[in-house]
Amino acid sequence: MSIATGDKMPEGAFGVMTDAGPGQITTDELFSGKRVVLFSVPGAFTPTCSMNHLPGYVEHAQGFADKGVDTVACLAVNDVFVMDAWGKSRDVGDHIVMLADGNGDYTKSLGLELDASGFGMGLRGQRFAIIVDDGVATAVAVEAPGEFRVSAAEAILDRL
The CATH number assigned to the domain holding 131 equals 3.40.30.10
Q: Is 49 an active-site residue?
A: yes
Q: Which of 71, 13, 22, 76 shows the shortest CA–CA distance to 45?
A: 76
Model pLDDT, residue 122: 64
Q: What distance in Å separates the CA atoms of residue 62 and residue 72, rounded to the nearest whole number?
A: 10
Active-site residue, selected from the candidate residues 37, 41, 49, 75: 49
- The total of structural domains in the chain comes to 1
Residue 1 lies in a domain: no
Average pLDDT over residues 138-155: 95
Q: Please, which pLDDT band fits residue 72 given cuts at 50, 70 and 90?
A: very high
Does residue 2 lie within any of the structural domains? no
Contacts of residue 85, Cβ cutoff 8 Å, sequence gap at least 6:
44
Residue 150 counted as domain residue: yes
- Whether 133 and 8 have beta carbons less than 8 Å apart is answered as no
Q: Is the pLDDT of residue 60 over 80?
A: yes
Strand partners, 98: 74
Put simply, whether the predicted model's pTM sits higher than 0.85 gets the answer yes
Would you say residue 3 lies in a domain?
no
pLDDT of 17 over the 90 cut: yes
- Is 34 part of any domain? yes
